[in-house]
Amino acid sequence: MTDKLDTLAGALPAGKGKAEADWNPPLSGHLDMCIGRDGNWFYQGEPMVREVLVKLFAGILRLEQGCYYLVTPVEKYSITVDGLPFVSRQLEVRDPGPHQQVVVTSNVGDVVVLGSEHPLCFRPAGNAEAVPCIHVRDGLYMLLQRSHFYQLAEMALEQSGDSDSIPGILSCGMLFALHV
């Protein structure tokens, strides 16, 4: 790991793994870090293979005025995100039926339950058209992988049984439309 990454990781208070709302340091510069469309993280063009480090940086990721930053109490670096910062890696439906919960796990270990705090929506991702995604936290979204979207679409069609209705998926008592 380079000195800059060591410094950034070392600037976090003990026990802190999430950017705090009251952290507001001045911009320290741009870090040659990129999150690819597939959710893989790169530093100086090389893949970041240490999962614990990726999770640490994902925890201090912030979106402000359309730009992504890694923020600690004393430093703030802009980074590049090619699409959305997180990507779904696992989708599970708990208690199938009218009281079901759709649980989605991201590439950095965030686990969210589709519902009022984590709605399914469609947003532009980088230069791409609107894509299905789920709100994770603080304006940060997770891209719903195509296979997971198809899994939800299949369930929605099974549930509706009506070819004229708009397909949607039920989770936590809320219906989420599967279209833009």
* CATH architecture entry for 86-177: Roll (2.30)
As a CATH number, domain 3-81 is 3.10.540.10
Q: What is the pLDDT of residues 9-23, one digit of tens each?
A: 655 554 445 657 788
Q: Could you tell me the pTM of the whole model?
A: 0.84
Q: What is the pLDDT of residues 85-131, one digit of tens each?
A: 999 999 999 998 889 999 999 999 999 999 999 999 999 887 778 99
**Where are the strands (E) in the chain, listed by range?**
29-35, 41-43, 46-47, 61-64, 67-71, 76-81, 86-94, 101-106, 111-113, 120-124, 130-137, 140-143, 168-171, 174-177
Q: What is the pLDDT of residues 143-171, one digit of tens each?
A: 999 999 999 998 886 655 555 667 889 99
- Look at residue 125 in the predicted model and tell me its pLDDT: 80
Residue ranges of the chain that CATH labels 2.30.270.10: 86-177
- Look at residue 16 in the predicted model and tell me its pLDDT: 47
Residue ranges of the chain that CATH labels 3.10.540.10: 3-81
CA gap 137, 55 in Å, rounded: 14
State mean pLDDT over 35-56: 95
